[in-house]
Structure 1
């Protein structure tokens, strides 16, 4: 079936929906040290609020994605974004770190609708190179969030505090709801939806998980995201407490890395039609592997500011060649159950992120080794998963001759 090209306005709304994660994390990252002081708790306890959010994103996608294959995308998008806005407001008035952690799980669970279903909508409406370009453009537009969020958060924390930051997140979530209501039509016709109850969901899950190429691309994607999240969760303490950056300077450094990710995503959108998503994915994996390896060497030898900043920029920017292409290749393998496929991809992505956050925190705040070594381990495993997929494709091609 020939699919219509997605309008730019729809891609913009879908990009904003995927921005729920960076908006709900990056804006309050600069406030981590002050939050620990206010609640009288440890860095690990504050990082747990981030872990709870990521667990919510993972679980929410596993629930919402398959349900959308049966009930359609739009109703779940509307409900999820509305509750996400309400729970963000609850974060702003949380009286204890335990309450904040619990509510952050709810925010993640409902915010998962925007992430999992934006991918499903693109898979419903585009395929091949068109899908790769749409995912790249979505990342490009959505990349404005991690650029603006830390700068805005670093500025606002000093004026309205971390609670005020969550009120800003609430307003942004409300804008997402309006965008869905106005611009995002149902992309999955009733005749293409799954029928039946639990047995149909189980069948879709078996179809998705039984596709080894889908699993390989998904694992590579999720582990590459683990590289980013090791950086996200540990960098406030490494760059501020260890290397002496101020809150504002840290926010600028964070934004520069996000700008690199946006620039490479734009380059990917221009190249994917001629080079192809798989070749670009391999280049991205190699770039991140080199940067993470050198980061480990630097952190062991004695961490220094400029090498760390440069290597982090290269590693984060390299993800612009990984995220959109791995997503395109994975979902192309399971087009008949795009919601379930997107759910598995997203759940593994944020489930691994939830594991990474406390791991980098366990090493303490006085060293960059936990951050660097976790980034390295995730990237090596990501490269291994992609190598297995490529080897399987080579074997299948040889067997066909």
Structure 2
């Protein structure tokens, strides 16, 4: 399949091709967030059904994050060597099989193992989608595309818990994994019919371990890449602490029902989508680093308010409304952080290593998100609380800001390298 439809004779991307590519890549990148969030409302039910503790069910979420991290390290370089379409097709086929297998698990540990496989396979969507964007777009055009892509991708975490809660009305928690398997089959069809190969054979790099190690080492030493990447990963840990813990906290500490949690989660995710679109509007008006800095500062302020509420012993009928307002503000702010940090990192590299760069960025993002967010459960009771969430989110958010400031200072004092 040719990529010729992506650009006009003048070399620009026509609006129709732009919209189609947003929809196609949005479908692929939406699989990961949907797989993460669809079963969140069912956490208490899964724990009861599998006779497991809260921490064991949260581990199934961490296992998928680690799978996403490892999978991207493998799939990204493979896509630089073999092209984008092949690894996508194999990845979604394995994801479908793992999803259907989750329906039959006898224990929480078996579910965690299959979620790890899901993560490895599902990594193909996110890592290759970013590489395709780097193949096709440059600079502000890439930032604009990432913002539009997040509008489509944002529908997945927005709708996932609502869909998951509705599935619980008609059947057991296993229905969520049947839905994920069917979605993977849809993604296979989308790739087969509408995604062209965007990496020409002439610029592909053979997959060699030594060459991969050199490329990764070069990326790690490149502050222009690793600075925004760590900024993104630490900010994602802030978001993922909320994702992994708030289902239990809202239902056990504040008495929210499954349906109420799903509604709150959807409202807060809408904040993320709004933030990405305001960010897109500001492209060309406000410089990328300034948009990123503003988002980080605003997110930290929201987490500071969360900490104050936790210390004040938040309770009562208005507590869920207050928490929704705070988390909405945080998510709105992160809508500025994610597309801009991604753009700064990916645009610093040449297309020939875009797959590897995307893989390393995604790997660190999910490793930091999955690993650091688990600290919210490091309490005397072994269960996350609003206070422990605020401590973890504030710590990783502050670390993200420190990394960003240092990397911005480094970029300002260092000359731009040719080819970056």
State which of 334, 346, 349 in structure 2 corresponds to 1:334. Answer: 349
The residue aligned with 1:21 is 32
Deviations 1:40-61 (A, max 9, x none): 1100000010011011000000
State which of 367, 381, 386 in structure 1 corresponds to 2:404. Answer: 386
The residue aligned with 1:361 is 377
The residue aligned with 2:291 is 280
Deviation at 1:367, TM superposition (A): 2.9
- Residues 216, 311 of structure 1: alpha-carbon distance in 2 compared, 3 angstrom cutoff: same
- Residues 206, 3 of structure 1: alpha-carbon distance in 2 compared, 3 angstrom cutoff: farther
Deviation at 1:158, TM superposition (A): 2.7
Taking the aligned partners of 2:39 and 2:162, their CA distance within structure 1 comes to 10
Residue 256 in structure 1 maps to residue 272 in structure 2: no
Taking the aligned partners of 1:97 and 1:326, their CA distance within structure 2 comes to 35
Taking the aligned partners of 2:410 and 2:309, their CA distance within structure 1 comes to 35
The residue aligned with 1:31 is 42
The residue aligned with 2:329 is 314
- Residues 3, 323 of structure 1: alpha-carbon distance in 2 compared, 3 angstrom cutoff: farther
- Residues 166, 193 of structure 1: alpha-carbon distance in 2 compared, 3 angstrom cutoff: same
State which of 164, 176, 179 in structure 1 corresponds to 2:187. Answer: 176
- Residues 106, 366 of structure 1: alpha-carbon distance in 2 compared, 3 angstrom cutoff: closer
| Higher relative helix content | 1
Deviation at 1:178, TM superposition (A): 0.9
Taking the aligned partners of 2:278 and 2:322, their CA distance within structure 1 comes to 25
State which of 209, 214, 235 in structure 1 corresponds to 2:246. Answer: 235
226-235 vs 174-183, which moves further: 174-183
151-160 vs 375-384, which moves further: 151-160
Residue 325 in structure 1 maps to residue 336 in structure 2: no
State which of 211, 223, 245 in structure 2 corresponds to 1:212. Answer: 223
The residue aligned with 2:57 is 46
Deviation at 1:147, TM superposition (A): 1.2
Taking the aligned partners of 2:314 and 2:237, their CA distance within structure 1 comes to 21
What SS does the corresponding residue of 2:205 show, helix, strand or coil? Answer: coil
- Residues 51, 149 of structure 1: alpha-carbon distance in 2 compared, 3 angstrom cutoff: same
State which of 358, 366, 370 in structure 1 corresponds to 2:388. Answer: 370
The residue aligned with 2:136 is 125
The residue aligned with 1:107 is 118
Deviations 1:299-331 (A, max 9, x none): 122134133221111111211101111000001
Taking the aligned partners of 1:172 and 1:135, their CA distance within structure 2 comes to 22
Gaps in structure 2 of 5+ consecutive residues = 1-6, 416-420
CA contact (8 A) 2:376 2:384 kept: no
CA RMSD, 1 decimal = 1.7
The residue aligned with 1:395 is 413
Taking the aligned partners of 2:73 and 2:64, their CA distance within structure 1 comes to 14
Taking the aligned partners of 1:209 and 1:316, their CA distance within structure 2 comes to 28
Deviation at 1:109, TM superposition (A): 0.1
The residue aligned with 1:351 is 367
State which of 185, 191, 194 in structure 1 corresponds to 2:202. Answer: 191
Taking the aligned partners of 1:3 and 1:205, their CA distance within structure 2 comes to 31
Deviation at 1:262, TM superposition (A): 0.9
Gaps in structure 1 of 5+ consecutive residues = none
The residue aligned with 2:155 is 144
Deviations 1:244-292 (A, max 9, x none): 1111011000000111111111111121132132111111001101011
Deviations 1:347-393 (A, max 9, x none): 00100122134311232447311111111111000000110011112
Q: TM-score scaled by structure 1? A: 0.96
Taking the aligned partners of 1:76 and 1:139, their CA distance within structure 2 comes to 22
The residue aligned with 1:165 is 176
Q: TM-score scaled by structure 2? A: 0.91
Taking the aligned partners of 1:258 and 1:68, their CA distance within structure 2 comes to 30
Taking the aligned partners of 2:174 and 2:328, their CA distance within structure 1 comes to 29
